[in-house]
Structure 1
Amino acid sequence: MTGSQVNIIVVPRECFCRAGTSLQSIYENTQYPFSLIYVDGNSPRGIRRWLEREAADKGFKLVRFDRYLAPNEARNIGLQHADAKYVVFVDNDVLVAPGWLENLVACAEETDAWVVAPLYLEGSWEDPRVHMAGGWWRITEEDGKRIFVEEHSSYERRVDDPEVPRSRIQCDLIEFHTVLVRRDVFQKIGPLDERLKSVLEHVDFCMSVVEAGGTIYLEPKSRIMFRKPPRVTLSDLPYFLLRWSDAWGEESMKAFGEKRKVEVGYYQVEWWREYRRLSLLPILWRLERLAGRRAEPLERKLIFPIEEKLNRFLFS
């Protein structure tokens, strides 16, 4: 490592097709000194070779595995190679805006925050919407059961909406698209829970930080762009389907519920199944052109149930 104050740890989120533009964004828009650790889990051959060339050219540490990695596993691997005061986890598909890193570090230094998140955006830089401006989680009692709920603040609002924070605020929920963490936090709370493979890993981490007495901040002067894949390429399909599989999702929900002694709503299942249908877009587009209004019931009664059964067959 270079002795810098920050280790950026890049990990796979759900696909690899945007790894190039994401890494380029980091190097073009980051003036604050950093050393980079890139954890690559079984990326396609072209991406793998490109990463090897970039690592040699730019001098970052490339940690390669010939198998797919769940995000928390990849983050823990990156942590094993970190030596700086701060680690910044970055998904391999995000774009960062100029000033993103120095604003995260400044917030941590000035507030003694354990965790600092940027303003998460989605869409495009020309017309951005808020993906998340911090958030909150609660555990409520209903009929003798502990029910977990979460909310992402300012979701889908325009950046200039008065409800979107303009200055840093304390919150109790962030996501892992990009987040700065004091590295010594993991000496207090332990490594990230690798049983949480696809959902609720960010909530579990935030709960652990709050329970240990730490603080979490949103710093809206730092901005990053979360990007859904416009379509899932053939080479990305195996990892994408595994990442959002019922097997990984249900394992995550079960582990979270047992660990936190809460019940998690079915909305989590509905969310990842709907998101996984991004892989079906080419089929759905053709069906809608051919069937018109009849496409919707065909999707709901035929295509979606078949897809769910096939996913279980492949990954359970």
Structure 2
Amino acid sequence: MTGPLPEGFAVRLNRRVRVRDGGRTLVGGAPTRVVHLSRTARKLLTGRTIRVRDRASALLADRLLEIGMADPIVAELPDGDPSQVTVVIPVRDRPHALDRLLANLGGRHRVIVVDDASARPEAVARVAAAHGAGLVPLAENLGPAGARNAGLRRVTTPYVLFADSDVVLEPGALEALLRHFADPRVAVAAPRVLGLRLPGGDRWIRRYEDARSSLDLGIEPGIVRPRAPVSWVPSACLLARVDALGAGFSAEMRVGEDVDLVWRLAGAGWRVRYEPAATVRHEHRTDVADWLGRKAFYGTGADLLARRHGRDVAPAVLTPWSAAFALALLAQRRWSAPVAALIFAVAAARMSAKLARSDHPVRLALVLTADGAVASAWQVTALLLRHWWPLAALGCLFSRRTRRAVAAAALLDTVSDLRRTGAHLDPFRFALARRLDDAAYGAGLWYGAIKGRSLRALLPDIRWSLTPPSPPVPPS
């Protein structure tokens, strides 16, 4: 984890970053912040790009990567050596899927198949032998985390690719991920996970999953850590630096082990990157009962994560003013709009006082406050429809205002999500799938909380500031 970015490393400000004050002020990052660049730092920016040529440019590029304002330009990074990668595949039965993945890898890498106590281990062994893959049979079922760790202990190369048996890699995916390790602080790089098209009926759940899968984290690259736009990456496919992993995944976790690993690495000072330029295809569940069960299973992991990572698992992060703003609107009284407007104005005024370095502090404060108001509205929508839906459903039985709030939230969520994802599904079935998705996850969330006898994973995190101004960046 030591050493500067190498010469020639190039980064670009991401799309979420706003450039203000003639290039002197940057607004964005993960979480959002305001950064004022020194005169020296401004000269290192060519448009929205920084190329590492000396110590000063290396420091600036590293800082912007770390605060989530910039991303590496993957196409310009040096190629890695694929022979330095070992592939570890945990599997329990599913020999046909394993055969498909091994054929996809094409014998270009050393492969370790970990049979996690299959019911028919001989079928898995035959497939592994046919492709020349090493086999590690486990006498008892350890779960995906334990199986991956068993394979990791046998890896002798600098890098390991964890790939579940139900994925296949698109051409160039591994090469794109490997380039990220030119940054000595990168521990893990993860691809975008899209749906695998298989023969069979074109089920509506499949079309929904193709557009709105829990594993698909979108088209924007980014740093991965708690409260970032990409806050986790799925373990369906991960490329990792072996020296950074230590003992690997938390073997006792049967769900959420990927989130836990990423957050532990981020907490230790490593960087984790999400790279949508690299894609893999995943065999999504299309049977409704199986699909709902998987969504609920994901929800049960929140309590386990809350025990380990505390407030980072909170379903919403709000400031006192944004919480008051949302509550005023939810009240749906005659005074709601004026009070919400007053809260907004006070928050903007206080924000502008903290932005005195900007050429236009009031204008910038209004933009940031508006961003906060919109974010709080979306988070309250998610609370009503997903995390707190049992309480919202109960409230709908007794309160007309609650029914209006839930109906408005559901309509807004459906319309915006359908437009954003471009799902090949009619609005009615898309809306139904969205509500089933939320209901299943929320049910799992509440089940985990009740079983764990804790509300930690259900309570919002109230923080005083989500947009901290940063000191000037003066590379030397």
Q: Same fold (TM over 0.5)?
A: yes
**Contact 1:9-1:90 at 8 Å conserved across structures:** yes
Match of 1:25 in 2: 101
How far, CA to CA, are the matches of 1:223 and 1:60 in structure 2? 23
* Residue 114 of structure 2 is aligned to residue 39 of structure 1: yes
CA contact (8 A) 1:196 1:253 kept: no
Q: Is contact 2:93–2:124 with CA below 8 Å preserved after alignment?
A: no
Distance 1:108 1:20, change over 3 A: farther
1:144-163 paired onto structure 2 within 5 Å: 153-154=217-218
Instruction: Indicate if the aligned counterparts of 2:87 and 2:112 stay in contact, CA closer than 8 A.
Output: yes
**Contact preservation (8 Å) 1:89, 1:176:** yes
Q: How does 1:3-152 map to 2 (within 5 A)?
A: 4-12=83-91, 16-17=93-94, 19-29=95-105, 33-45=108-120, 48-109=121-182, 113-122=186-195, 124=197, 129=211, 131=213
8 Å CA contact retained: 1:10, 1:39: yes
1:178 CA drift (Å): 0.2
**Bigger strand fraction:** 1
C-alpha offsets along residues 204-262 of structure 1, whole Å, 9 cap, x if unaligned?
Answer: 11111111111111222321112234459xxxx9xxx8x9997x975x55443222234
Which amino acid in the other structure matches residue 171 of structure 1? V
Kept after mapping to 2: 8 A contact 1:40/1:62: yes
Q: 1:261 aligns with which of 295, 298, 310?
A: 310
Q: Is the counterpart of residue 192 in structure 1 residue 267 in structure 2?
A: no
Structure 2 gap segments, 5+ residues each: 1-81, 200-206, 226-231, 316-382, 390-435, 445-476
Equivalent residues of 1:113, 1:215 under 8 A apart: yes
Q: For the residues of structure 1 that align with 2:130 and 2:282, how far apart are their CA atoms? A: 26
AA in 2 matched with 1:65: L
Identify the residue that residue 207 of structure 1 maps to in structure 2.
Answer: 263
Shift of residue 179 of structure 1?
Answer: 0.5
Q: How big is the shift at 1:81?
A: 1.0
Distance of 2:149 and 2:214 partners within structure 1: 24
Structure 1 spans left out of the alignment, 5+ residues: 134-151, 155-163, 271-299, 309-316
> One-letter code of the match for 1:256?
L
Q: CA deviation at 1:185?
A: 0.6
Instruction: Report the AA paired with residue 175 of structure 1.
Output: P
**TM-score, normalization: structure 1?**
0.59
RMSD across aligned positions (CA): 4.1
Rounded to whole Å, the distance in 2 between the matches of 1:112 and 1:26 is 30
**Residue type matched to 2:254 in 1?**
K
Q: Which amino acid in the other structure matches residue 181 of structure 1?
A: A
Alpha-carbon distance, 1:4 to partner = 3.6
Q: Which structure dedicates a bigger proportion of its chain to helix?
A: 2
Give the Cα–Cα distance (whole angstroms) in 2 for the partners of residues 11 and 174 of structure 1. Answer: 17
Picking from 224, 237, 247, the partner of 1:171 is: 224
Work out whether 1:182 is the aligned partner of 2:258: no
Amino acid aligned to 1:202: D
Aligned mates of 1:268, 1:37 — CA distance in 2:
39
Code of the residue aligned with 2:164 in structure 1: it is D
TM-score for both structures, normalised by structure 2: 0.41
* Cα distance in structure 2, aligned partners of 1:123 and 1:38: 21
For residues 28 and 42 of structure 1, the distance between their equivalents in structure 2, rounded to whole angstroms, comes to 24
CA distance in 2, matches of 1:101, 1:26: 14
- SS of structure 2 residue aligned to 1:51: helix
Contact 1:30 1:98 in 2 (8 A): no
2:154 maps to amino acid: H
- Tell me how far 1:123 sits from its aligned partner: 5.0
Which letter does structure 2 place at the counterpart of 1:209?
L
In 2: Cα distance, 1:268 partner to 1:11 partner: 31
Distance 1:100 1:130, change over 3 A: farther
Identity %: 22
Report the equivalent of 1:274.
none
Structure 1 residue 80: Cα displacement = 1.0
Indicate if the aligned counterparts of 2:85 and 2:110 stay in contact, CA closer than 8 A: yes
After superposition, give the CA deviation of every residue in 1:125-150 in whole Å (9 maximum; x if it has no partner). Answer: 898546468xxxxxxxxxxxxxxxxx
Deviation at 1:62, TM superposition (A): 0.8
